[in-house]
A and B are shown apart, each in its own frame.
Chain A
Amino acid sequence: MINGNAAAAERREPSVPVLDVRDLRIEFPIREKALVAIDGVSFSIGHGEILGVVGESGAGKSLTGSALIGLLQAPGHIAAGTIHLSGQRIDNLPETEQRRLRGKRIGAIFQDPLTSLDPLFTVGRQLTETIHTHFPSMSRADAKGRAMQLLAEVGIADPATRFDQYPHQFSGGMRQRIVIALALAGEPELIIADEPTTALDVSIQAQILALLKRLARTRDTAIMLVTHDMGVIAEVADRVAVMYAGRLVEIGPVEDIVRRPNHPYTVGLMASIPPLHRQPERLAQISGSMPRLGSWPTGCSFHPRCPHAGPRCEVSTPLLMPAGATAAACFLHQGGTAL
């Protein structure tokens, strides 16, 4: 008997990643000049892989996510670069085609489960509505059955009763599970989870993260997990992308990023996580703050805060290059010295 999984694996050509972003550049035209919010960002996510995207607020993590699902707030737009979904280019599709991808091939999970659901409709209605949008030929009864299955899959007990309840009758954690069920309704290849646990209690966070991890494994879904919480990343991500001021500064496997970071910003970021086992005298911090959009420095945008910065960093922008087990955008690892 031919193994079903093997056949599926062959169909999806393992060499083609689910998501492939190349040199993405997002601009906001303000009056005459264009503010560059994302510049030269490249990464890819494979089947069943969870890519954590970390960075401070304003680094461009969520913006990247919005660009992927084609929901950039006007006047923001993709000014350069390409986005491929399972080999198909999607960044230049017309709006109607892009909408067909949303929810169907790319699912999204947002930060606040309390406000992500329409308060006036039952969760069942919101689920079947989404299912019908993506599978128009499905009968009402089948759609309802599918909705119940999804509720059960994301860990909602007693789906038959819960189906007819309204969002306010669920706790925050349960609502995030429903949001996840909604994101799964179209059977997407890729899920973009934008701070999915930030608004939740710590104990609930772990459950939601475990759920996401399980979905990636069992459904083979690629997940882009946007967060500013390194703890979340360390718990579930396979690989980590670190963003700073609109650029990707380092990307690599999670152990290497956490244990042996190469970019000075990542090093600073890791040093600022309180260790579990001993009490440090004082937490390390990166001096200064990330520059605001529109006032980014020339060269490497991190150089004003970097302890290793040299004259070269002020004039030219380092590209992402292999550095140890990761890839880092820093001259320290490209020719050894920034000086």
Chain B
Amino acid sequence: MISLLATRLTSVVLVMLVVSGLSFCVFNFLGDPVNNILGVNATLEQREELRVALGLDQTTIVQFWRFVERAAVGDFGVSYRNRQPVIDLMLVRLPATLELVLTATLTALLIGIPMGIYTALRPKGLLSRIVQLVSLLGISMPQFLIGMLLILIFSVELRWLSAFGRGETVRIGWWTTGLLTVSGLKALIMPTITLAVFQISMIMRLVRGEMLEVFRADFIKFARARGLSDRAVYLTHALRNSLLPVITVVGLQIGSLIAFAIVVEAVFQWPGMGLLILQAIEFADFPVMSAYLAFVGFSFVMINLIVDLTYLLVDPRMRVK
């Protein structure tokens, strides 16, 4: 188990090195940082001065190492657009995105898993067929369309929910949360649904497929032969065995939710990191882009690590000495 942890941590470090290499390239080789900062009207002396100040006169290797050193403590330089440290911009936006992604994931799990179980247990029931059909829609509809439909219905026609922003937020340290105010929670509803629809459908289909597969396993037949109740057979033995692949996929999905949040944040003008990166792309704000790249890479790597550790908890076969 210790060795497994060690190999995983090594791979975390390696992947992060590659990711920072990529984000270093974005930072250094896309456009000219000196031009970007000083504009085209600066004198040669000014340019040379800044070059030295930024360390651009050093070799690429040294520059990369400095980049990694600074990135490790969260220093991604200063945004070209609004002259603020990139890390400050990110930290302001981070809570909005994470709260959205986490509520969407929870919603997807809380709806997707029970629906998956139900449709696996009653594959021929009317409700199962309806759920299956709707989930096909959910899996094939583009997110921006779902978001715009929701806005059309609930904001434009019914006027129940606001179509943009996070509502009122409460500050806890540097973290701003929308989970503690009524308007904050209301503002979360539509973006959460938009982001979760695909996940609900996918988790439901995954749980259903896995359970149908596990139902055919010998140990389920034997559990029934032991006289266990249907509840114990299905919800204890079948479900737990079905959830192993679900953990993997949900983990990967949280990562892509962070990335996909861009679309949802744009539709609902959600002040999260997705909106930040969209603005950064528009203005060719390379420090922000490279920091975002590093952040997404880091999220994926950490989530994978957590998934691996969860596997250790759930599956005793992984805990090999």
Contact = CB atoms under 8 A, between A and B. Distances in A.
Interface of A: 69, 71, 99-104, 107-108, 110, 112, 115-122, 129-130, 133-134, 166, 168, 179, 182-183, 185-186
Nearest to A131: B226
Interface in B129-182: none
Interface in B161-218: 217-218
B219 A99 contact: no
A130 B225 contact: no
Contacts of B232: 129, 133
Interface of B: 217-219, 221-229, 232, 236-237, 240-241, 314-317
B228 A130 contact: yes
Contacts of A130: 226-228
Contacts of B223: 118
A103 B315 CA distance: 27
A116 B221 CA distance: 8
A10 to B, nearest CB: 28
A120 B218 contact: no
B219 A117 contact: yes
B227 A186 contact: yes
B224 A166 contact: no
A168 B317 contact: yes
B43 to A, nearest CB: 70
A185 B237 contact: no
Contacts of B224: 71, 102
A103 B223 CA distance: 9
28 contacts: A71-B221, A71-B224, A99-B229, A103-B226, A108-B225, A108-B226, A110-B218, A110-B221, A110-B222, A112-B218, A115-B218, A115-B219, A116-B222, A119-B241, A119-B316, A119-B317, A120-B315, A120-B316, A130-B227, A133-B226, A133-B227, A133-B228, A133-B229, A134-B227, A168-B316, A179-B222, A182-B222, A186-B226
> Which of A69, A115, A120: most chain B CB closer than 10 A?
A120
Nearest to A105: B227
Contacts of A133: 226-229, 232
Contacts of B218: 110, 112, 115-116
A71 B218 CA distance: 13
Contact of B241 (A99, A120, A179): A120
Given A110-B221, A185-B226, 11 more contacts: A101-B227, A103-B225, A103-B227, A110-B222, A118-B240, A119-B219, A119-B315, A120-B240, A133-B228, A166-B317, A182-B226
Contacts of A115: 217-219
B26 to A, nearest CB: 44
B225 A69 contact: yes
Contacts of A99: 227, 229
B21 to A, nearest CB: 40
A102 B315 contact: no
Contacts of B225: 69, 71, 102-103, 107-108, 110, 183
Contacts of B317: 119, 166, 168
Contacts of A69: 225
Contacts of B221: 71, 110
A200 B224 CA distance: 23
Contacts of A112: 218
